[in-house]
């Protein structure tokens, strides 16, 4: 799509952490391509954070300057041309953005406050893109119904396997087919730890590496204890299989009690330990299990190393499909936000 006069979209950011800052760099780098190739001109008018302040602007907030501010630990209120707002909810009430990017930390207990932020934004007629699985795991049906009623988009490709097309693949490329079961290695932090321990490193050394890479959850216990994988499995089951489950419905175990000796012995026997998420459809629901399993080294589940992820989807009409994501980092999650932004733009055009 080439457009002589690009359409301007006003962007609001709820969270400016690792993911949002990588996305900010990406859209700045690709400014010309987005304008010339997709007819998109982007303007940032609102940013909310947890501890670096919330700001609004009538102009265009310089995203790189805002990211640098956060990285220096300084408040955003010092940026030129911005007005300070007391909190995130107040910012959503007032921001009147076209697209809200929600990237606050995972809360595996109830998906809050992100679910409420997204409900408010959709209710005010704003499109929402999130990389946070919490709200999708706890409130998918409500959020989707509200987005439909308000004729806006709600996209969340980054919630599972970063920017690898999982939801888009099923939605756009597998019409009529039903997903009947899936299994996968969906959490990069635990996979990095397990593979690292196989090669003799300690649990803590591997966890530090995941933190350095920016891929660990804000609270890494949610990775280690299987909550992140459970939330992803719930998102997959609710979206792809029509289930209506919550993370507490998952039969869940993490990797906290595994040690280097056990992981090395399993790998030496050709059956390495991996944190596996499995779902089996039943009626309108699904049964979901997350926990460490010994899997054949040469199988798709056993062959993923480091931060790599894999998802095996079994359908009734298209058989089994395997999606590998090799060594994703923060850029791949940022790409999820970018591909969702393009989808929001396409959907908005098709509604006109």
Ligand X SMILES: NC(=O)c1ccc[n+]([C@@H]2O[C@H](COP(=O)([O-])OP(=O)(O)OC[C@H]3O[C@@H](n4cnc5c(N)ncnc54)[C@H](OP(=O)(O)O)[C@@H]3O)[C@@H](O)[C@H]2O)c1
Give the shortest CB-125-to-ligand X separation in angstroms.
20
Give the shortest CB-103-to-ligand X separation in angstroms.
4
Please confirm, yes or no, whether 41 is among the known catalytic residues.
no
Do 70 and 88 meet the contact criterion of CB atoms below 8 Å apart?
no
* Catalytic residue (one of 41, 232, 287, 349): 232
Give the shortest CB-2-to-ligand X separation in angstroms.
32
- SS3 at position 33: helix
Residue facing ligand X at closest CB distance: 17
Query: Residue 17 or residue 254: which is nearer to ligand X going by CB?
Result: 17
Q: Detail the DSSP E strand segments found in the chain.
A: 7-14, 40-48, 54-56, 83-85, 99-102, 127-130, 154-155, 179-185, 251-252, 273-282, 285-294, 309-315, 320-325
The Cα 336–Cα 285 span in angstroms is: 27
Of residues 137, 104, 98, the one with CA closest to residue 121: 98
Of residues 126, 133, 179, 125, the one with CA closest to residue 156: 133
**Where along the sequence are the contacts to ligand X (CB under 6 A)?**
14-20, 48-52, 88, 103-106, 113, 131-132, 158, 162, 214-215, 217-218, 330, 333
Helix and strand totals (H; E) in the chain: 14, 13
Query: Residue 266 or residue 325: which is nearer to ligand X going by CB?
Result: 325
Give the shortest CB-128-to-ligand X separation in angstroms.
13
Query: Residue 255 or residue 295: which is nearer to ligand X going by CB?
Result: 255
Strand pairing report for 309-315 and 179-185 = antiparallel
Query: Residue 106 or residue 207: which is nearer to ligand X going by CB?
Result: 106
Query: Residue 295 or residue 336: which is nearer to ligand X going by CB?
Result: 336
How far from 100 is each of 91, 126, 156, 241, CA to CA, in Å?
11, 7, 12, 27
Give the shortest CB-262-to-ligand X separation in angstroms.
27
Q: Which residues does the annotation mark as catalytic?
A: 232
């Amino acid at each position: 799509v080439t457009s002589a006069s690009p359409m301007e979209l006003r962007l609001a950011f709820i969270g400016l952490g690792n993911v949002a800052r990588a996305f900010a760099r990406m859209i700045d780098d690709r400014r010309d391509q987005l304008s010339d190739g997709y007819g998109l001109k982007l303007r940032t008018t609102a940013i909310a954070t947890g501890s670096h302040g919330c700001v609004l602007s009538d102009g265009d907030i310089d995203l790189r300057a805002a990211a640098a501010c956060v990285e220096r630990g300084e408040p955003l209120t010092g940026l030129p041309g911005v007005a300070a707002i007391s909190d995130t909810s107040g910012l959503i009430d007032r921001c009147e953005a076209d697209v809200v990017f929600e990237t606050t930390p995972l809360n595996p207990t109830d998906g809050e406050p992100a679910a409420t932020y997204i409900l408010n934004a959709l209710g005010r007629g704003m499109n929402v893109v999130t990389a946070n699985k919490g709200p999708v795991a706890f409130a998918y049906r409500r959020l989707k119904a509200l987005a439909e009623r308000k004729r806006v988009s709600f996209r969340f490709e980054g919630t599972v396997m970063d920017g690898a097309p999982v939801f888009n693949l099923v939605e756009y490329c597998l019409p009529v087919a039903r997903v009947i079961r899936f299994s996968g290695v969906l959490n990069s932090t635990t996979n990095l730890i397990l593979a690292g321990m196989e090669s003799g490193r300690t649990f803590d050394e591997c966890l530090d590496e995941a933190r350095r890479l920016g891929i660990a959850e804000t609270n890494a216990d949610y990775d280690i204890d299987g909550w992140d994988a459970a939330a992803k499995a719930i998102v997959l089951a609710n979206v792809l299989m029509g289930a209506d489950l919550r993370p507490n419905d998952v039969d869940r175990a993490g990797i906290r009690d595994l040690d280097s000796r056990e992981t090395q012995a399993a790998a030496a026997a050709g059956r390495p330990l991996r944190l596996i998420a499995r779902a089996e459809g039943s009626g309108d629901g699904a049964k979901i299990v997350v926990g460490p399993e010994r899997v054949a080294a040469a199988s798709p589940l056993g062959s993923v190393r480091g931060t790599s992820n894999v998802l095996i989807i079994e359908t009734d009409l298209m058989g089994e499909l395997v999606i590998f994501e090799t060594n994703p980092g923060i850029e791949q999650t940022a790409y999820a936000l970018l591909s969702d932004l393009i989808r929001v733009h396409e959907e908005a055009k098709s509604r006109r």
